[in-house]
Each structure stands twice: as C-alpha cells, then as structure tokens.
Amino acid sequence: MSVQERKERERAVRERLIVATARELAEQQGWDAVTTRRLAERIEYSQPVLYSHFRGKREIIGAVALEGAAEMAAALRAATSAVDDPRARVTALAHAYLDFAASSPAVYDALFQLDGGLAFAQEDTPELLKDAFAALLESLEEVAGGGVHPGVFTEVFWASLHGFATLTRSGRLPPEYAERRVELLVDRLAMV
Amino acid sequence: MSVQERKERERAVRERLIVATARELAEQQGWDAVTTRRLAERIEYSQPVLYSHFRGKREIIGAVALEGAAEMAAALRAATSAVDDPRARVTALAHAYLDFAASSPAVYDALFQLDGGLAFAQEDTPELLKDAFAALLESLEEVAGGGVHPGVFTEVFWASLHGFATLTRSGRLPPEYAERRVELLVDRLAMV
DNA sequence: GATTCGATGCTAGCACCGCTAGACAAGGGA
DNA sequence: TCCCTTGTCTAGCGGTGCTAGCATCGAATC
C-alpha cells in the first residue's frame, strides 16, 4: 500500500512540475513556444510522459488556466478588501484585473483567450472559475444600480476590462489613455 | 508594355483569389484549417506561389483583415445612417458590430484577434483601419458627454463590444443575456 | 522562323509540430 | 529466483510554415 501511495505522490509532484514548467515557458516565450518537445525536455522526461498526465496540450493549458483563476481571484480580493468606499473599490478592482492581465499575459491567455477545454458559465464549470467570477461580483454587485441583475452587470464590466486587456496588449488600443479609459468606465458604469 | 500590363493584371487577380480563398476557408473551417498547402490546392497553384504575393501566412491574414475592415465600416454606417435618434443610433451601432462579429467570425478574428502584422492606432496604420474606427466614432462622439474625449469614449465603447463578441463566441459569456448586456452598456455609457 | 534568356511556377526538402505504437527495462509480489 | 505488471523510452506518423534550386515557358532579339 505504501509503495502505491509513494508512487501517487510522485506522480502528483511531476504533474505540478509539468503545469509549472508550461506556465513558466509560456510567460517567458509565449504559448507558441510551449511545444510538447520543449516542455518534455525541460521537465527531463520524454514526450509521452506528458500524455500520461494530460490528454493533450489543450488540457495542459486548462490546468494553467485553473491555477491562474485561483491566483487572479486572490489578487482581486487582496486589492479590494482594504478599500472601504464602494466606488473606489471598483476602481481598485479594475486596476488589479488589468495589472494581472498585463503581468501574467500567458496565464491570462490560458484563462480567457485560448482553448483549455474548460466549461464556462455552466453547471460543470470548475469551482475555481466560478470563484474568480465571484471575486468580481463581490465588489461589483453593490454598484450595479437598482433593477439591474448583478450577474449581468458583472458580465458587462468584466467584458469591458477584457477588451481593454486584450486590445491593449495586441497593440490595438494605445497605452497612453489607459488610465482615462478605466476612469471613464468606472464613472459611467458604477452607480453611486 | 501591354504584355507587362496584362501580367500585372493577372497577378492582381490571383492575389485577390488568394485572399478570397483564405477568407472563405477560414469562415468555413476556422483559421487553423487555413494552411499554406490547403490554400495552394484550392487556388490550384503550388505553395511557393503564395510567397510570391505575401511574405507569409501572417500577411495573408492581414489582407483578409483589411478587406474585413472596409466591410465592417460599411455595415456600421449602413446600420446607423437611417436612425435619427442619437441614442437609438448607438444601440443600432452596437447590434451591427456584434452581428458582424458573429456572422463573420474569421474576418473578425483576422481584424481583432490574430496577428496580421498590421499597425493599429499609429501613424502608419492603414487608412481602412482608421476608417473603421471613424465609423464607430461618428455615431459615438455625440453621446460621449461633456468633457470626455470622443476618441477615448469610442475606445471604451469599442473595447466593451469586443469583450462581448469574443467572450460570447468562446463560450465564456452565456448567450442568453446578450441583449440585456447591450442595453445596459448603452444605457450607462451614452449620455442623452 | 530560330534562338537566347529571363521570368515564373514547380518539385522536393528543411526543421518543426502534436501525438502514438511498440519495444524495453525496472521493480514489486509470489 | 522468477514472473509479470508498470512505466518510460525510442522511433515514427502525418501534418505545419517556409525555401532552395531546377525546369519550363514565353517574350524579345537576330
């Protein structure tokens, strides 16, 4: 029994190593550079080992996304918890979101841009993803305004931030007015 | 002279054929299916011919994007020109934008998601791209509100629509509340 | 009309991709 | 000690974007 337990433990360690290495490589050189060959070489195993942990590259992206969702939720809560004023809290939330997207672009892509095989906005959505959305909602529901569904309001705010993040990083939005865009968005969307 | 002119004409025809075929293939089966081999086979030439017109696949995507920018601008203007009320015009604009994104996903991706090697929001930005942004601005500047830079306002509105379009298509936003999201966005952002 | 010669499109091939079949070795259980 | 399961490896499949170098075709010249 103990032998099997040790093996399972070692397998789990190696699986975390794969995910961490994939993430590291993606942040360093982009997801295009995360090939199964390079990834295998970095973890010092052969390619087929990857497929004994994940069905394919997509699932590895999904694993990085889940890890990222947890970190993002934590970052959002950390940035908002110390702020008392509801409106200021929303501003802090927006900045924390955009900072996360800018400082961890590969993780952000795994979450919101690439196909990691994860279900969103459904029953079988992983709890970590639901919780990341919940982290947004917690700061947003109180400024949604009367008669507006907090979930829908959160979706609108989130989609806007997502647009900022992706269009800015791909060079389609100029960086110079980033702050004014955030101010305008919060000013107009947040009631009170 | 006439011989050379004829050749140039034929070259231009073939170049348009490449772009049209790439676009068609991308809309039918997604950009992943647009490989240089398949594209070459469809236009009934060998692969290297593609490289006598474009530096690589990226430039072909860029060509599709430019074509799409012109169509998008036309679609946006067509949808808004007949609407008199400024606020209703913005709503029509939003719907036209989202309809374009949903009905021509491959072209939309070439424009706003993939790397087509085009410059955005710079001096050397192609006129067609500037004009597509102008088409947005024309309907939005009059509802930007006082003291707000129309360009910045347009960027915010556009980024939000982009978030809706991309997150909805990748299954990250549920489609059922799409209409309510648009209403909320227009309600809050448009002044008067 | 024959001949030269440059332009043009082709075949073949590079290094790389995601993924997998099948050989092989190491280790625990009898 | 032997067997057999488990796990990992090598090698290879069909695909990718892209390119070197050859062959052919056609326009211009003699």
Q: Report pLDDT digits (tens) over A92-133.
A: 999 999 999 999 999 999 999 999 999 999 999 999 999 999
Chain A contact present for B171, CB below 8 A: yes
Q: How confident is the model at residue B4, as a pLDDT?
A: 75
User: The tokens 């709890």 sit on which residue?
Assistant: A127
User: The tokens 């990226």 sit on which residue?
Assistant: B58
Of B130, B125, B137, the closest CA to residue B90 belongs to: B137
Q: How confident is the model at residue B188, as a pLDDT?
A: 97
Q: How confident is the model at residue A7, as a pLDDT?
A: 80
Indicate the pLDDT class of residue A3, thresholds 50, 70 and 90.
low
The nearest alpha carbon in chain A to B179 belongs to: A152
A8 CA vs C30 C1’ separation (Å): 24
CB A54 within 8 A of CB A18: yes
pLDDT per residue as tens, chain B (192 positions) = 576 777 888 899 999 999 999 999 999 999 999 999 999 999 999 999 999 999 999 999 999 999 999 999 999 999 999 999 999 999 999 999 999 999 999 999 999 999 999 999 999 999 999 999 999 999 999 999 989 999 999 999 999 999 999 999 999 999 999 999 999 999 999 998
Give the Cα separation of B140 and B186 in Å (integer).
10
Question: Which positions in chain A touch B176 (Cβ < 8 Å)?
Answer: none
How near does any CA of chain B get to the CA of A172, in Å?
A: 5
The tokens for B180 are 């309510």
Chain A contact present for B77, CB below 8 A: no
Question: Is the pLDDT at A5 greater than 80, yes or no?
Answer: no
**Kind and range of the H or E element at A147?**
none
Question: Is the pLDDT at A78 greater than 70, yes or no?
Answer: yes
Q: Report pLDDT digits (tens) over B54-108.
A: 999 999 999 999 999 999 999 999 999 999 999 999 999 999 999 999 999 999 9
CB A33 within 8 A of CB A25: yes
CB A55 within 8 A of CB A7: no
Q: All domains of chain B, ordered by start, with CATH?
A: 1-53 (1.10.10), 64-189 (1.10.357.10)
- Enumerate the nucleotides of strand D whose atoms come under 7 Å of any protein CB: 6-12, 15-21, 27-28
